[in-house]
Amino acid sequence: MGIRILGGYFKNRELLRKGVKKDFVRPTTAIVRKSIFDSLKDVEGFVVLDLFAGSGILGLEALSRGASKVIFIDKDRYLIENLKENLKKFDLLEKSFIYNTDFEKAVRVLEEKNEKFDLIFVDPPYRLTNIYKPLKLLSEKNILKRDGFVVNLSYIAEDIDVGNFKIFKEKSFGITKILFLKE
């Protein structure tokens, strides 16, 4: 069985995985996504940033649940092509924008464009969070709305540098740690 959207308008719809090898990308599991969106409660009207988008499942789940716009960032062109196919399949291209680049460059461009987000998903390849340091970069840039928050996923054993953010909730499932952060 493939990856399915868990809630909202596209509930139970399956994502396409054209040319995506199973071991190449680690889509966020259903139990982790359920926990995240149960904790968030409502994303209706949110502007969302999906960093390290991969399959795009977190952003697609947000769009299915009423987010007004999602910007997807991933540097892998094959994953981006697959994501575009899924956005077309669900007729969500007009609510989406895709940057096929690394997250640092994308975050700088978003700040220059004065983009502001209600919610930012940060889901880098496990065990690379502290190499990339995405939370440190995000805490230095002004792209999170005043009442916005960040959801960071990482390997459970990793000690995450949260920059200037404050952890207001933490959960774990298997090897995944979820941090809910505010400024």
Give how far Cα 128 sits from Cα of 56, 120, 160, Å: 19, 18, 10
User: What is the structure's pLDDT at 129?
Assistant: 58
Residue 149 CA to chain centroid, in angstroms? 12
What burial class does residue 145 get, using C-beta atoms within 10 Å of its C-beta: 0-12 exposed, 13-18 middle, 19+ buried?
Answer: middle
Q: How does pLDDT run across 93-144, given as a tens digit for each residue?
A: 999 999 999 999 999 999 999 999 999 999 987 766 565 688 888 988 989 9
Question: CA-to-CA distance for 84 and 98, rounded, in angstroms?
Answer: 8
Query: Cα(120)–Cα(51) distance, rounded to whole angstroms?
Result: 7
Parse the chain into domains and list their residue ranges.
30-182
Cα 176 to Cα 31, 55, 83, 121: the distances in Å are: 10, 17, 23, 14
CATH class of 30-182: alpha beta
pLDDT value, residue 125: 79
Give the chain's mean pLDDT. Answer: 89
